[in-house]
Amino acid sequence: MTGKLILGVPSKGRLMEQTADDFAARGLALAKTGHQRGYRGEIAGFPDVEVAYLSASEIARHLQLGRIHLGVTGEDLIREHIPDADKRCDLVAKLGFGRADVVVAVPECWIDVATIADLEEAAAIFYREHGRRLRVATKYMNLTRRFFAEKGLVSYRIVESLGATEGTPAAQTAEIIVDITTTGTTLRANRLKTLSNGTILRSQACLFASIAAPRSPASGAAEARIRQHFAKSI
Amino acid sequence: MRVEPSAFPQAETPAESALRFEALEAQAEQIMGVFARAGYERVAPSFIQPADIFLDRIGEALRNRTYVFTDPDGQELCLRPDLTIPACRIYLERNPEADAEARYSYNGPAFRYQPGEPDALRPREFRQAGIENFGEADREQTDAEVLALILEAIRLAGLTGFEVRCGDLGLFRALLGALPIPARWRDRLLHGFWRPGAFHSALRQLASAPASLPDPRVAALAASLDPQNSLTAEQQVAAFLDANNLAMLGARNTGEITSRLLSAAADMREQPLSADVVELVESYLAISGPADAALAAIASLMNEARIDLSAPLDACRRRQMLMREADIDMSAMEFDTDFGRQFEYYSGFVFQIEMPGHGIAGQIAGGGRYDGLLASIGAERDAPAIGSAIHTERLLAAKGSGR
């Protein structure tokens, strides 16, 4: 143990850039140490902080296990990958970028289905007619199960989908999907529509603190200083 | 990138599948002896089961609690989360016609993920000792016998101070059947029964606005469909989809869409569910108490509402008489109309043996009738079936706590 505070930030793409911009606007300058393609960094003026560049889903996992103290990742990933997320992670701040909704979408031609209650009834009839459950393609297996359980929808099966989820109804590998959407354009292009009460989560990038991670006096002090930069909106 | 090893890893994986293993085994042998003397053949259901049958029958919610995995051949399998369905599979393998009587008993581990931290009384590996009884036509008689046998086993193991809670899902189905409401509303309410929240909102919705077609064009289409001729109606729906450039996508067909639109159209013409009916259903589901008194309360509620439930109520009374004859202490038995909502495959009599004041850890044994389950996992027809299992770790612990 180095005793340092470890901050996990996204290691690629828009999310990495937006995180750096957001931190800079709060007076926290993130910079890589060593090679530009490396995965280690620092915050100027914070000698007790080590920055770890990780994939967004790894950040969720490491926060859960307490391997990093702070991390920037999507709320969707935290809620998907961590059971009892509120007990294991503390939401420090919503960062206002990386916005996307996790939604239930069904084929547009299902003109009789506008709500989750309609879907439940259609699913029951589908089971009777076809002798199998309605298939839901998604990578959000836990969010989907929890949401459907809350809404009382039971007659379905999840088919795990790790890409091109919107295409699964057309490919006949699923009947409906649960996926992330920002503008709905991809859903429409694939002849899918959302349901009026079918939004599972309005997600955005957030800074989370791990409850499980052990703090040294130095890392605890560094965390308190960083948290101050997120105490007010920018 | 190397990150710090975690100081607080996941909940520990215990090295021992069971603590006090010898005591558990001795207790189980005693229980299995009781079952054997009553003519139950000991079977060994597979630990590893096809995941499909569980997920399709009990639903996706179970996956949260089940260890599901894929083997190298790509088959989706699971560790059995209980032993009822595995025992049913043995019965169907031996009696594909589901037409023979059979009595099976078993003792062995079941596996369930425990959200939060697993503990001694909610372990993720636990042993169930139980029985399944197939094909016996006298349902009330068999119900009473199965409960009496489980109570005998528990008493012989040394447990005292327990209570029996029971219910009858068939009675609720009979009530819905006797109500003056359209069959599709019956289906809707019955379907929702297992999820109290959803049930309540379904009831409210039927009482206010039974149909919901928010798109006015779709509502107009539904109203224009010919309810007498489903073929014409389906053609109308297909034409509407065509005209609106809505191509069919996936396995759900125009017939299914049409049938729901026809239901919605019928609902729009129907008077909403009357307040009397809503109150009757809610009053029924609020009845609970000592078994004899609860049945009397149901009978008088039905009398007042002029609903004829005499045949199913007579069956309940007969079952209680048979229980009394089997020396079951009826004063320690509670009948709860609401009970059994958490187990979707149960169809009739359901019961649970509980140590009062111990929460989940006090749920020592449970069981019930599941007449429709065999057909839903591949039998040609519905067959009478009832079973019960004892949570042996909890039984052992409850005996200890009583001393």
Is residue A130 left, alpha or beta, with left meaning phi > 0 and alpha meaning psi from -120 to 50? alpha
Which residues share a beta bridge with A135?
Answer: A157
User: Nearest 10 degrees: CA dihedral of B226, B232, B237, B242?
Assistant: -140
Cβ of A84 and B264 within 8 Å?
no
The interface residues of chain A toward chain B in range 61-80, judged by CB-CB distance below 8 A, are 62, 65-68
* 3-state SS, residue B111: strand
Which residues share a beta bridge with B115?
Answer: none
- pLDDT score at B403: 39
- pLDDT score at B260: 93
Query: N- to C-terminal Cα distance for chain A?
Result: 34
- pLDDT score at B230: 87
Q: Distance (Å) from the C-alpha of residue B34 to the closest C-alpha of chain A? A: 38
pLDDT tens digits for range A175-202: 999 999 999 999 999 999 999 999 999 9
Cβ of B241 and A39 within 8 Å?
no
Chain B positions in Cβ-Cβ contact with residue A126 (cut-off 8 Å): 251-252, 256
Cβ of B249 and A109 within 8 Å?
yes
CA neighbor of A140 nearest in space, from A94, A105, A95:
A105
Quote the strand ranges of chain A, DSSP E: 5-10, 30-32, 40-43, 49-54, 70-74, 89-94, 100-107, 134-138, 156-160, 176-181, 192-203, 205-210
Q: What is the mean pLDDT of residues A52-76?
A: 95
Q: Are B90 and B83 in contact (CB under 8 A)?
A: no
Cβ of B344 and A154 within 8 Å?
yes
ipTM above 0.90, yes or no: no
- pLDDT score at B6: 46
Q: Distance (Å) from the C-alpha of residue B190 to the closest C-alpha of chain A? A: 12
Cβ of A196 and B252 within 8 Å?
no
Q: Distance (Å) from the C-alpha of residue A234 to the closest C-alpha of chain B? A: 30
CA gap B65, B60 in Å, rounded: 10
CA gap B136, B131 in Å, rounded: 14
Chain B contact for A12 (CB, 8 A cutoff): no
> B376: nearest CA in chain A?
A131
Q: Are A108 and A192 in contact (CB under 8 A)?
A: yes
Residue with tokens 């032993």: B83
Query: N- to C-terminal Cα distance for chain B?
Result: 56
Angle subtended by helix axes B230-243 and B216-224, to nearest 10: 150
> B193: nearest CA in chain A?
A152
Q: What is the mean pLDDT of residues A212-218?
A: 93
- pLDDT score at B61: 60
The interface residues of chain A toward chain B in range 22-61, judged by CB-CB distance below 8 A, are 39-40, 52-54
pTM above 0.90, yes or no: no
Chain B contact for A152 (CB, 8 A cutoff): yes
Give percent above pLDDT 70 in chain A: 98
Mean pLDDT of successive 10-residue segments in chain B (403 residues)? 46 80 96 98 97 74 79 89 95 94 97 76 89 97 98 96 94 94 88 78 86 88 92 95 93 94 91 92 95 96 95 96 94 90 82 92 94 88 95 91 49
Cβ of A40 and B215 within 8 Å?
no
CA gap B98, B375 in Å, rounded: 9
CA gap B353, B166 in Å, rounded: 9
- pLDDT score at B401: 61
Q: Are A193 and A187 in contact (CB under 8 A)?
A: yes
Q: Are strands A156-160 and A134-138 parallel, antiparallel or unpaired?
A: parallel
Q: What is the mean pLDDT of residues A145-172?
A: 88
Angle subtended by helix axes B183-192 and B169-178, to nearest 10: 160
Q: Distance (Å) from the C-alpha of residue B176 to the closest C-alpha of chain A? A: 18
Q: Among partner residues A40, A113, A170, which is closest to B249 by beta-carbon distance?
A: A170
Q: What is the mean pLDDT of residues A159-175?
A: 93
pLDDT tens digits for range A84-121: 899 999 999 999 999 999 999 999 999 999 999 899 88
Dihedral of alpha carbons B83, B85, B86, B88, sign: positive
Say if residue A157's pLDDT is above 50. Answer: yes
